[in-house]
Amino acid sequence: MPIALKPVLTEKFADEDTSFDVTLAIAATAEDLVTVPGGKKGRIISLVNEGPADAAIKADATAVVTDTLLEEGDAYSEAKLEVATKFSFINVTPAQTPRVRGVLWSGE
């Protein structure tokens, strides 16, 4: 008798993309990078810090300089997320206003 396998793990679906291209307006002040569309969860994010200088990012909270570091020129991508509200960023290098661009995929 053959054994029928049942899939146990399933991926959450991401069906809406939100692109962003944000330059920090005021050094040393965190800003929202991208907001998750209403009624959805942020599932996948891909971004790049174009500089000048380094930035820090944070999901579902306001970023501070000790959060996930993105050096100038670094790319970052993460999947299997369940971000409810936003990603924010802040400069790490004093007096610089980095530019970060990318895309957030969201779904149920």
Q: pLDDT category, 92, cuts 50, 70, 90?
A: very high
CATH topology of domain 22-107: Jelly Rolls (2.60.120)
Q: What is the pTM of this model?
A: 0.85
Domain ranges of the chain: 22-107
Q: pLDDT category, 47, cuts 50, 70, 90?
A: very high
Q: Would you say 47 and 9 are in contact if contact means Cβ atoms under 8 Å apart? A: no
Mean pLDDT value of segment 12-37: 94
C-alpha 26/C-alpha 6 separation (Å) is 52
What pLDDT score was predicted for residue 9?
A: 56
The C-alpha torsion from 21 through 64 and 26 to 40, rounded to 10°, is: 40
Q: pLDDT category, 6, cuts 50, 70, 90?
A: confident
* DSSP 8-state class, residue 38: T
